[in-house]
């Protein structure tokens, strides 16, 4: 029998005792996440309440994800400094197995706790934006919201975290069981990695393809659960045959240093690989952009000049947000401001045609394949009063919000083509201003 | 009485160093045993082995008749603390007490809180803010409140001032009277513990030198003072622990039962006979003859 009943009870108590100690740190995590939430929500509210701040607002989760990863690495380090971490609880009754299981479970619970903050933050951000949209008109969400996706993405996130934790736990168990061989193997692997980093970067994703490129959500969870079980059971079995209180020695420090070096090298690489893994179904991002460029809306307004005598002149009056610029100056991609440019002079002289054509190129702000101006109403008017041509341009419904979604989850075909992922296709955005061109049509 | 602790040829090696060498001891139920020895004699190693916190190299160690390591039925009934238990440093004392209450079935939280108040410790204080003496008090009261069948205290009074030490001893004795159980207390200060102990376990260089009831220890040796010739004549067939011969001071300590016959025979030679205090006996039994080296220092 693996453990007797008293050991299970002891494990439960140890988890509770560890939680009492963890609460000290989780309190700070809670505080940091609260500050992030206040900062993010505050900036959203300020953006909405302040005019002229721009069309687009991205509610970023980068900081909270970074905090999560930092805490996660903390848990990974705990599995490496297993002995010194357990010293804090050594005064309490425990066995090798109850100690290991309690450490394993409390680390997993800690990650669930911290990850749940991420989920709560997401809902808080989304909820705040939704709430604001009740009071303020013209707020649009560029990316679709799917509760199923958010929940599924959360579990995908957790699955990857648990898998990595299980891997590190197994590695830690191996190191404790076969210290010298493990360090030797580690040194060899490290040297191979340093010498052939590019090859390793190619090989690892291929080796992990069965899980990181699995397009079916259900299969992913099954595979993740299976792999996690194998890794964890292996770690438990190895630990079961390891004498925890084997003669204390001072070599701990160099092990810690070695494992920390390992963490510094391996963890960022693995995370980088996971983040950069191409999705099962890829978008042709450039084709997407080209398509949008080709379909950017334009509008023409024709003004009858037949009543004007040939050779007469017209003054041009434009609204405040239209700037008259020299015709040879290319301002097409230079600013994201919602403004229009009149390509020409302030007045027209010696008019020879019957019809004046005012050609409007609509503004655009394409964020990862989405033209955010598609959500807004742009209005252009042009009319002639006497010898003055009035050109007016303004934008309504100019609040568009994007809330990033779980990046890991984009590998699943279930969520493809549902307007959930475009935020992550590419990090950049392109924009173009309203452009007004005036020409004479001679019949 | 039942044996709570029993070791047979217990050995522990750290590399080439022998921390314990073929140690065979027994400690009875409901006793207060003083584990006495010089620095590096193996006291902490022995306690850690008995607490299941260290593996053994050879021999056997039994607590409640079973091997302690990874044996939850044994470990649930013992507590082993020392003056600087490395709890999470930022934890408040009240939280640590809650952890004890959670982990030890017989932990008396109310008693612990009373002791906290008695020793003027505030539950809101963080463990890291305690001085060495305060940390010792806190760990002492935690161990005492566990009311475990076996309580092992490693240097429990380190850093405590003399007033607090006396209070601690008194509380330990009264609690022992109220709730009889087995204590093993490792300390250098045997003179202070003497009134408390029922047994003495003296170890030196990993070996048990004494493992007896304190009354037996008191009767196990005696000192004779007199002239050099009379002492030399008397000790010729005796088991001498230590001997000093100088113009001003001439004495010998004999490690044999102190009886009425001994007194009479010594007095016949004009010698003065006296009992050896347990603390002095422990010093004599573990001292190394380094007088020559001492002289070389200057």
Q: How far apart are CA A220 and CA B225, in angstroms?
A: 88
Strand ranges (E), A289-387:
298-304, 314-318, 322-325, 340-343, 347-348, 355-361, 364-367, 370-371, 377-385
Give the least confident one: A78-92, A134-148, A187-201, A217-231: A187-201
Mean pLDDT of the region A243-254: 64
Residues of B in contact with A14 (CB under 8 A): 103
Question: What pLDDT does residue B132 have?
Answer: 92
pLDDT in tens, B20-53: 999 999 999 999 999 999 888 999 999 999 999 9
- How much of chain B, in percent, has pLDDT values that exceed 70? 97
Question: What pLDDT does residue A292 have?
Answer: 54
pLDDT band at A433 (very low <50, low <70, confident <90, very high): low
Sign of CA dihedral B109, B114, B117, B118: negative
Indicate the DSSP class of residue A50: S
pLDDT in tens, B53-82: 999 999 999 999 999 999 999 999 999 998
Which of A104-118, A308-322, A346-360 is most confident? A104-118
State the best of B49, B57, B70, B85 to mutate against chain A, taking most chain A CBs within 10 Å: B70
pLDDT at B224 > cutoff 50: yes
pLDDT in tens, B112-151: 999 999 999 999 999 999 999 999 999 999 999 999 999 9
Question: What pLDDT does residue B156 have?
Answer: 92
Task: State how far residue A27 is from chain B, nearest Cα, in angstroms.
Answer: 12
ipTM confidence: 0.89
pLDDT in tens, A263-286: 656 655 665 555 555 544 444 444
φ, ψ of residue A140 in degrees (nearest 5): -125, 145
pLDDT at A418 > cutoff 50: yes
Task: Provide the β-strand partners of residue B183.
Answer: B32, B151
Indicate the DSSP class of residue A375: G
Give the least confident one: A260-269, A334-343, A405-414: A334-343
Indicate the DSSP class of residue B90: T
Q: How far apart are CA A215 and CA A274, in angstroms?
A: 14
State the best of A2, A87, A91, A248 to mutate against chain B, taking most chain B CBs within 10 Å: A91
Task: Please provide the average confidence, as pLDDT, over all residues in chain A.
Answer: 75
Contact flag A98-B79 (C-beta cutoff 8 Å):
no
B48 contact A CB<8A: yes
Contact flag B72-A6 (C-beta cutoff 8 Å):
yes
Contact flag B76-A10 (C-beta cutoff 8 Å):
yes
Which one has a higher pLDDT value, A438 or A327? A438
Q: Helix, strand or coil for residue B282? A: helix
Residues of A in contact with B79 (CB under 8 A): 91
φ, ψ of residue A328 in degrees (nearest 5): -90, 0
Start-end of H helices in chain B: 43-50, 72-75, 93-103, 109-118, 132-146, 162-178, 190-193, 214-218, 228-235, 260-268, 278-286, 291-296
State the best of B88, B107, B146, B147 to mutate against chain A, taking most chain A CBs within 10 Å: B88
Question: What pLDDT does residue A281 have?
Answer: 46
Which of A110-119, A204-213, B64-73 is most confident? B64-73
A384 dihedral zone (left: phi>0; alpha: psi -120 to 50; beta) = beta
Question: What pLDDT does residue A422 have?
Answer: 59
Give the one of B53, B69, B76 whose C-beta lies nearest to A90's C-beta.
B53
Indicate the DSSP class of residue A337: S
Q: Which residues are CB-contacts of A224 (< 8 A; sequence separation ≥ 6)?
A: A159, A160, A162, A163, A211
pLDDT band at A366 (very low <50, low <70, confident <90, very high): confident
pLDDT at A66 > cutoff 70: yes
Task: Please provide the average confidence, as pLDDT, over all residues in chain B.
Answer: 91
- How much of chain A, in percent, has pLDDT values that exceed 90? 15
Which of A224-233, A255-264, A290-299 is most confident? A224-233
Which one has a higher pLDDT value, A91 or A171? A91
Question: What pLDDT does residue A332 have?
Answer: 39
Contact B46, A83 (CB under 8 A): no
pLDDT at B110 > cutoff 70: yes
Question: What pLDDT does residue A56 have?
Answer: 67
């Amino acid at each position: 029998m693996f453990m007797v009943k008293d050991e299970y009870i002891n494990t439960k108590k140890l988890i509770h005792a560890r939680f009492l100690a963890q609460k000290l740190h989780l309190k700070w995590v809670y505080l940091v996440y609260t500050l992030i939430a206040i900062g993010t929500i505050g900036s959203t509210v300020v953006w909405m309440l302040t005019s002229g701040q721009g069309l687009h607002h991205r509610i970023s989760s980068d900081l909270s994800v970074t905090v999560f990863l930092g805490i996660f690495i903390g848990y990974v380090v705990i599995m490496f400094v297993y002995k010194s971490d357990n010293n804090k609880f050594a005064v309490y009754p425990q066995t090798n197995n109850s100690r290991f299981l309690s450490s394993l479970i409390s680390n997993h619970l800690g990650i669930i706790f911290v990850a749940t903050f991420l989920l709560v933050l997401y809902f808080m951000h989304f909820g705040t934006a939704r709430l604001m949209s009740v009071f303020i008109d013209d707020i649009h969400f560029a990316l679709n919201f799917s509760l199923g996706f958010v929940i599924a993405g959360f579990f995908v996130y957790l699955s990857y975290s648990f898998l990595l934790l299980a891997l590190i736990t197994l590695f830690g168990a191996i190191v404790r069981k076969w210290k010298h061989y493990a360090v030797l193997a580690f040194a060899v692997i490290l040297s191979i990695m340093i010498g052939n980093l590019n090859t390793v970067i190619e090989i690892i994703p291929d080796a992990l393809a069965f899980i990181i490129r699995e397009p079916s959500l259900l299969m992913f969870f099954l595979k993740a659960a299976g792999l996690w079980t194998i890794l964890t059971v292996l770690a438990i079995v190895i630990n079961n045959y390891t004498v925890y209180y084997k003669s204390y020695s001072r070599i701990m420090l160099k092990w810690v240093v070695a494992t920390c070096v390992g963490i510094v090298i391996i963890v960022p690489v693995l995370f980088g690989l996971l983040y950069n893994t191409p999705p099962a179904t890829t978008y042709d991002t450039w084709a997407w952009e080209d398509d949008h460029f080709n379909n950017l809306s334009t509008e023409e307004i024709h003004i009858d000049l037949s009543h004007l005598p040939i050779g007469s002149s017209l003054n041009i009056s434009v609204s405040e947000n239209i700037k008259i610029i020299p015709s040879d100056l290319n301002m097409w991609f230079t600013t994201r401001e919602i403004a229009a440019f009149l390509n020409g002079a302030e007045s027209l002289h010696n008019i020879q045609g019957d019809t004046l054509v005012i050609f409007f190129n609509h503004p655009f702000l394409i964020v990862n394949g989405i033209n955010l101006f598609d959500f807004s109403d742009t209005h252009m008017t042009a009319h002639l009063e006497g010898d003055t041509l009035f050109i007016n341009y303004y934008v309504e419904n100019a609040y568009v919000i994007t809330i990033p979604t779980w990046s890991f989850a984009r590998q699943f075909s279930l969520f493809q083509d549902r307007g959930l992922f475009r935020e992550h296709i590419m990090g950049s955005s392109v924009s173009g201003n309203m452009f007004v061109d005036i020409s004479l049509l001679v019949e | 009485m039942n044996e709570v602790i029993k070791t047979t040829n217990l050995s522990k090696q750290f590399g080439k160093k022998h921390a314990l060498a073929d140690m065979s001891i027994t400690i009875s139920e409901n006793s207060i045993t003083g584990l006495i020895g010089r620095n590096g004699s193996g006291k902490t190693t022995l306690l850690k082995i008995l607490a299941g916190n260290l593996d053994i190299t050879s021999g056997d160690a039994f607590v409640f008749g079973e091997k302690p390591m990874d044996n939850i039925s044994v470990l649930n009934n013992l507590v082993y603390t020392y003056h600087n238990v490395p709890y999470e440093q930022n934890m408040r004392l009240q939280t640590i007490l809650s952890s004890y209450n959670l982990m030890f079935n017989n932990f008396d939280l109310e008693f612990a809180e009373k002791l906290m108040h008695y020793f003027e410790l505030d539950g809101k204080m963080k463990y890291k803010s305690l001085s060495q003496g305060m940390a010792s008090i806190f760990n002492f009261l935690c161990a005492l409140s566990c009311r475990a069948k076996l309580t092992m205290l490693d240097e429990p009074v380190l850093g405590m001032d003399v007033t607090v030490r006396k209070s601690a001893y008194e509380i330990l004795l009264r609690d022992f009277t109220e709730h009889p159980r087995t204590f093993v207390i490792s300390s250098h200060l045997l003179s202070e513990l003497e009134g408390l102990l029922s047994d003495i376990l003296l170890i030196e260089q990993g070996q048990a030198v004494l493992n007896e009831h304190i009354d037996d220890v008191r009767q196990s040796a005696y000192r004779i003072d007199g002239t050099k010739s009379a002492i030399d004549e008397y000790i010729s067939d005796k088991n001498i622990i230590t001997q000093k011969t100088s113009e001003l001071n001439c004495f010998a300590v004999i490690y044999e039962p102190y009886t009425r016959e001994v007194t009479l025979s010594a007095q016949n030679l004009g010698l003065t006979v006296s009992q050896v205090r347990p603390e002095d006996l422990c010093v004599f039994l573990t001292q190394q003859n380094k007088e020559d080296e001492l002289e070389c220092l200057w």
